[in-house]
Structure 1
Amino acid sequence: MKKIAIIALLLVSGATMAQKMKVKSGDFKFIQGQKEINVEFVYENLKLMKENLTEAEYVKNRSTELNEKTKGNGDIWKKKWEGSKEMIWNPKFLELMNTVMTKDKKDMSFQEGLSSAKYTLIVDVVWIYPGWDVAMMKQPAKVTTVLKFVETANKSNVVLEVSSENSPGDQWGSNFSNESRIGEGFAKTGKSLAKMILKEAF
């Protein structure tokens, strides 16, 4: 049992180390003096699993699998999945970004629907691995995004682009919900981006 616990801990630690955030273009100068940043989430380019399934393929396969095990469970899961973006993933990202800024006493907020903000952060979600949790053994979720800061009035003008690869999603203890684990990956992405902004812009 002790060996299993150590292996599980190593799996989590290894996943945490795997996150990579890199500036692809632009810089952080535009951040200075901004109090509000609009945020938009894009899922049109999303692929899932190691097979790079489209979201439609993944949802169909997963709901069919669950329905075959227990009739109706796949349909219930499908509704949970569809609601996860608005109810878990997007809020987790925003919550951690704003929490990091507040703790550092920065008067800046990241919110959806701020059409009057000069700049918009487009969170393009390009890959998700849901992970798994079976008693003492677990594999964290992973979330990969392209984070683009653009002018709200001219979104073709990208002032900063950051890639975030394999942001790990996990919690202490057991977490048997794929959607919740993925949400922790979004939280980690938001937290890491906020820390990068604090380091590079202030």
Structure 2
Amino acid sequence: MKKIKLSLLFVAGIGLNSMAQKIRTESGDLSFLKGQTELNIQYDFSDFQVGGFSSEAEYKNKKIKEYNEKEAGRGDTWEKSWERDKKERFPNKFEELFDKGLTGKIHAAQNNEKATYTLIVKTTFIEPGFNIGVMRRSAAVAFEYIFVESGDESKVLAKLKQPDVPGSQFGGYDYDTGARVSESYAKGAKMLAAYMLKNIK
């Protein structure tokens, strides 16, 4: 009986997790992308929560202080890595899987001057997770996808939301925070590409 209950909980957990990841349209639709072959991408990390902290700044201050107390300068090195991940690692991972998922039908990239429309990938929440060998928690990221006219962000054509996209590496060897979180960007990108191809009519 105990095994059956655990199995049911496991299945329920998968179902809830899948529902949480589901992309939903908040406004507009994607019909404007019909016939488009280029798409510009921007990333917005201006305002998001991290884990149980009310803001990214609160999270960063705590981590910097903790690491510097353990080893002088370690917290400052961590901060540089965190900022570099937002600027390079997370966007690069997203674009790699997004462009691949669009199967050549639309070329999507940052600074794409050929594109009539721009996708703003806005991060609203990051759960960094942890992996200490005997215990681990997967990362997770919540996204808003905002489609605007290139050169005029006030002209919003569609807005989508995707909460709780999990991130972890195969085999559980994701000891690095950036590695875990970047997998959330990869998964979000793949799901968004599939959603777009299905809904561009």
- Which TM class, normalised by the smaller chain length? 0.7 to 0.9
Q: Cα distance, 1:90 vs. partner?
A: 0.5
**Root-mean-square deviation over aligned CA pairs:** 2.1
1:109 and 1:146 map into 2 onto residues whose CA distance is 20
Sequence identity percentage? 33
Structure 1 counterpart of 2:149, from 130, 138, 151? 151
Which string of whole-angstrom CA distances, capped at 9 and with x for unpartnered residues, describes residues 62-100 of structure 1? 011112223332122111111101221011111111111
2:21 and 2:99 map into 1 onto residues whose CA distance is 20
Q: Cα distance, 1:14 vs. partner?
A: 7.5
1:94 aligns with 2:95: yes
Structure 1 residue runs of 4 or more that deviate by more than 3 Å after TM superposition: 12-16
Q: Which residue of 1 aligns with 2:25?
A: 23
2:22 and 2:138 map into 1 onto residues whose CA distance is 15
Which string of whole-angstrom CA distances, capped at 9 and with x for unpartnered residues, describes residues 20-57 of structure 1? 321101112111111110011011112211232x2222
Q: Taking structure 1 as the reference length, what is the TM-score of the superposition?
A: 0.86
Pair 1:183–1:43, CA change in 2 (3 A): same
Q: Which residue of 1 aligns with 2:3?
A: none
1:14 and 1:45 map into 2 onto residues whose CA distance is 29
Q: Taking structure 2 as the reference length, what is the TM-score of the superposition?
A: 0.86
1:123 aligns with 2:118: no
1:182 and 1:14 map into 2 onto residues whose CA distance is 22
- List alignment gaps of at least 5 residues for structure 1: 1-5
1:27 and 1:112 map into 2 onto residues whose CA distance is 22
Aligned residues of 1:132 and 1:140 also touching (Cα < 8 A): yes
Q: Cα distance, 1:136 vs. partner?
A: 4.3
1:110 and 1:32 map into 2 onto residues whose CA distance is 14
1:136 and 1:108 map into 2 onto residues whose CA distance is 43
Q: Which residue of 2 aligns with 1:76?
A: 77
1:130 alignment partner AA: P
Aligned residues of 2:95 and 2:189 also touching (Cα < 8 A): yes
